[in-house]
Amino acid sequence: MNSKKFFVVSLKPFLLRLASGILILAAATFLFTKVLPTSIETAAIKNDWGLSYSQNGSQPVGNRSREMLSQYNAYYLGPPEEKVLYLTFDAGFEAGYTPKILETLKKHQVPATFFLVGNYLNTQPDLVKQMVADGHIVGNHTNNHPDMSKISDLESFRKELTDLETKYKEITGQEMKKFYRPPQGKFNEENLKQAQSLGYKTIFWSLAYADWLQDKQPSREEAFSKLLPRVHNGAVVLLHSTSKTNSKILDELLTKWKELGYRFGTLEELCK
């Protein structure tokens, strides 16, 4: 056999093995760069509260079951058979819209819970007093709004809640009702145990939309496209009182929900 031809023939198996190795390496590289970051991301968000919706108008499913949450006096939904809504607002600061929101709630005789942080109590004591005078609940959103899932010891967890309790009592002369919402919905099972040991009920939500960005407020149409089709029996509604859109649409929104046959309950009713 010609030596050049022999060399080419002998080289073919080597080239095939080499090509195969390159393909395997490329596939492994793809999996490492694509799959691994996804795994890391999944691990990173495992302590975030999350919901999945099967269809509009039906109760969503949380990434923790109602049964698991109930062990720790934690809630995100009311009764599936009852047309009742539980309205809540989160606020870390005052953007100038709360007075109008309070006025609208009074007009509709709708009770709400305002989950507030230390900065809000420090800077807006008069609005806090008005919330209480109007019959609303002021809930504990922690003193400093940290990622509570990173707090492992009970004393640090306790301090975030009790520091806010102290400020609230100084302003209102009353004890704060024991309703707690984890900042940004970040939590772990130990946090649920810690809150329960302090006598708190942890309150998540089952209906919300992206209303918190000050420089990117949703339009009326965008807000209604989320808040009307997805409303459901027993919904714990989360809105931000820092939202200009919410202050503008709340009157119409409450009217529409009432027209759909919903009434408004309190967290005390939810957690009884």
The pLDDT tens digits of the residues spanning 118-142 come to: 999 999 999 999 999 999 999 999 9
Q: Check if 90 is active-site.
A: yes
Global pTM value: 0.83
Annotated domain spans of the chain: 58-270
CATH of 58-270, one of 3.90.1150.10, 3.20.20.370, 3.40.50.2020, 3.40.47.10: 3.20.20.370
CB 194 within 8 A of CB 157: yes
Q: Which of 222, 221, 231 is nearest to 254 (CA)?
A: 231
Catalytic residue among 48, 136, 240, 251: 240
pLDDT of 37 reads 32
Q: Check if 134 is active-site.
A: no
What gap in Å lies between CA 147 and CA 133, rounded to an integer? 31
Catalytic residue among 48, 90, 126, 215: 90
Banded pLDDT at 47 (limits 50, 70, 90): confident
- Is the pLDDT assigned to residue 172 strictly greater than 90? yes
Per-residue pLDDT tens digits for 229-244: 999 999 999 999 999 9
Comparing 53 with 30, the larger pLDDT belongs to 53
Q: Which of 81, 127, 83, 131 is nearest to 106 (CA)?
A: 131
pLDDT of 27 reads 39
Q: Tokens at residue 178, please?
A: 């024991």
Distances (CA, A) of 75 to 78, 97, 190, 265, 269: 8, 28, 16, 14, 12
What gap in Å lies between CA 191 and CA 176, rounded to an integer? 19
Banded pLDDT at 24 (limits 50, 70, 90): very low
Q: Which of 122, 128, 140 is nearest to 102 (CA)?
A: 128
Q: Which of 210, 232, 218, 224 is nearest to 256 (CA)?
A: 224
Mean pLDDT of 62-73: 95
